[in-house]
A and B are shown apart, each in its own frame.
Chain A
């Protein structure tokens, strides 16, 4: 019997020993913004997955992202000041291909525009549960 699907030969059908979400967070804690690369079809993917959404391969490798991207869409969420105030939410197309949700820091919400070139950084939030890290962007 032949393997019709790429990346499904027995020696390649190896799933990671922890959730890819956990691995993503582990990299962030190490100050690295990493995304998965599919060694079968050569696409990058996000958010972290067990199989490649393009070709279903499980031969996925973590690579550090360039952090370079372009704003694809933006919205300003309106909230009362006591609830945290207004903030922007963006979708960013990474130069590697995937699109992800984030926010743009460092400029007024109204100045965030579709097509704007942005660069990723890792933001640290500290609360009673400890540190959580997330990828945010600034104007490039």
Chain B
């Protein structure tokens, strides 16, 4: 029994994406959730499943604030940045199996403010990455490695040397996301030009990662509502059906250093399963919303999903292939690199707009089939395939 096409995303909601929200994470998540529920044409009490992020809040807290009296399904996914995307699979399974009818997924955080604490400010809540604490605290931190950019930089360096990956491969990814951000009124980098030369001239953060290889740090929240296909038919917007989804974890997932093949990431395991469930081929999709905490991470995912062979990302991304008008427009909202960082739930809201046909200036012509990925916790991956 498969959950293919048995559920649909029917509501999306987002707060403004800002640097310095002055609000609590829960406050922002409740705003995004209320908007998503209203967008679905539902009342908060119609929600009977909640998947909150790993940290910042709890299902019970959201349920109490939303007036959800009958919470039948409450789960938390511990996959770091991949959690909100992986949550879509869990929602689809729970609904398709009859456990509940309508699931709310939300993520909100102060990704900018929390990194820049001010005296007198109440402390924010933290995210749960307990799964990684052993390796990071015991065996990474002593070597001055604490930030994800540092942990992924050897992967990138190894890739560059193994496959002679040119800097322009990741440059095209950064530039495409920036170009798309110019079309999006809610994109943080809208109007701030970045050419390939600007990219190549940006300073090193952790070689070979440059400043423009790294995503934004922003505050904000997003939410989506998923419901059963027969309920979806009677909602106000065009339903966006979940054709397939899967998650995957590299081995060993809790330590990046010891993996025999460091380019065998979570998505390497997840993609064949998701494609099998959806009964499509990877090249059938009309657009790509790929988790872009770093350009190099986008590259690893493209290759792991089989969009191109290993070491051949440059040929895949050049000549406008991943820009609007190309074959595989990437992150049409600007992505984490140039719109905002809400753990990729903004990739899902954008995919829904594309498949509703309401993406405005960044609309992909005749979009019918879209792909959204998540990445987190040193390479955990998730993939969702959506159709209208």
- Chain B, residues 154-195, CB within 8 Å of chain A (1/0): the string is 111110010000000000000000000000000000000000
- What range describes how many residues of A lie at the interface? 20 to 34
Residue-wise, chain A 93-106 has the 8 Å CB interface mask toward B (1 for contact) of 00000111111000
Q: How many residues of B contact A (CB 8 A)?
A: 31
- Interfacial chain A residues near B252, Cβ < 8 Å: 53
Does A27 make an interface contact (CB < 8 A)? no
Complexed CA–CA distance, A72 and B207 (Å): 15
A14 close to chain B: CB less than 8 A: no
Cβ distance B129 to chain A, nearest Cβ, rounded Å: 17
**Which chain A residues border B204 with CB–CB below 8 Å?**
76, 78
- Of the candidates B144, B203, B258, which one forms a contact with A100 in the assembled complex, judged by CB atoms under 8 Å apart? B258
Stretch at the interface among B30-38, B101-109, B135-143, B268-276: B135-143
Which residues from chain B contact A29 at a C-beta distance below 8 Å? Answer: none
Within 8 A of B (CB), among A67-110: 72-79, 84, 87, 89-91, 98-103
Confirm or deny: A55 has a beta carbon within 8 angstroms of a beta carbon on chain B: no
Q: Is the CB of A91 within 8 A of B145?
A: no
Contact of B207 among A78, A90, A91 (CB under 8 A): A78
What is the distance, in angstroms, from A10's C-beta to the closest C-beta of chain B? 27
B205 touches A (CB below 8 Å): yes
Report the bound CA distance from A42 to B222 in whole Å: 49
For A15, what are the chain B residues with a Cβ–Cβ distance below 8 Å? none
In-complex Cβ contact of B158 among A47, A73, A79, A89 (8 A): A73
B24: Cβ under 8 A from any A Cβ: no
Q: Is the CB of A77 within 8 A of B150?
A: yes
In the complex, how many residue pairs between chain A and chain B have their CB atoms under 8 Å apart? Answer: 80
Check A72 against B158 for contact (C-beta < 8 Å). yes
Q: Is the CB of B139 within 8 A of A73?
A: no
Once bound together, how far apart are the Cα atoms of A45 and B254, in whole Å? 14
Task: Flag if B143 contacts A134 (CB, 8 Å).
Answer: yes
Instruction: Give min CB distance, A139 to chain B, whole Å.
Output: 17
A100 touches B154 (CB 8 A): no
How far is A135 from B249 in the complex, measured between Cα atoms in Å?
28
Tell me the chain B residues, 100-148 only, with Cβ under 8 Å from chain A: 134-135, 138-140, 142-145
Tell whether, in the assembled complex, residue A102 and residue B207 are in contact, meaning their CB atoms are under 8 Å apart.
no
Q: In the docked arrangement, what's the CA distance between A102 and B161, Å? A: 19
Inter-subunit contact B258/A77 (CB<8 Å):
no
Contact A100 B139, CB 8 Å, known A47-B255, A47-B258: yes
| Interface core residue of B138, B143, B150, B262 (most chain A CB under 10 Å) | B143
Give the distance in Å from the alpha carbon of A44 to the alpha carbon of B280 in the complex: 42
Which residues from 34 to 50 on chain A have a C-beta closer than 8 Å to any C-beta of chain B?
A: 45-47
Contact with A along B256-293 (1 / 0, CB 8 A): 01110010000000000000000000000000000000
CB of A21 closer than 8 Å to a CB of B: yes
Chain B contacts for A114, CB-based, 8 A: 157-158, 161
Partner of B157, one of A47, A73, A78: A73
Minimum distance in angstroms from B93 CB to a CB of chain A: 28
Cβ-based interface call for A66 (8 A): no
Residues B257 and A74 in contact, CB atoms below 8 Å apart:
no
B248 smallest CB distance to A (angstroms): 17
B135, B150, B251, B262: the one within 8 Å of A75 (CB): B150
Residue A31 lies at the interface, judged by CB distance under 8 Å to chain B: no
By the criterion CB–CB under 8 Å, are A74 and B157 in contact?
A: yes
Do B144 and A101 touch across chains, with their CB atoms under 8 A apart? no
Taking A73-B155, A77-B144, A134-B143 as known contacts, 7 extra A-B pairs with beta carbons closer than 8 A to each other, sorted by chain A number, are: A47-B257, A75-B156, A75-B157, A77-B145, A89-B150, A89-B206, A91-B154
User: What would 18 A/B residue contacts be, using CB atoms closer than 8 Å?
Assistant: A45-B258, A47-B255, A53-B258, A72-B154, A73-B154, A73-B157, A73-B262, A74-B154, A75-B154, A75-B156, A75-B209, A77-B150, A79-B144, A89-B144, A99-B257, A101-B145, A102-B143, A103-B144
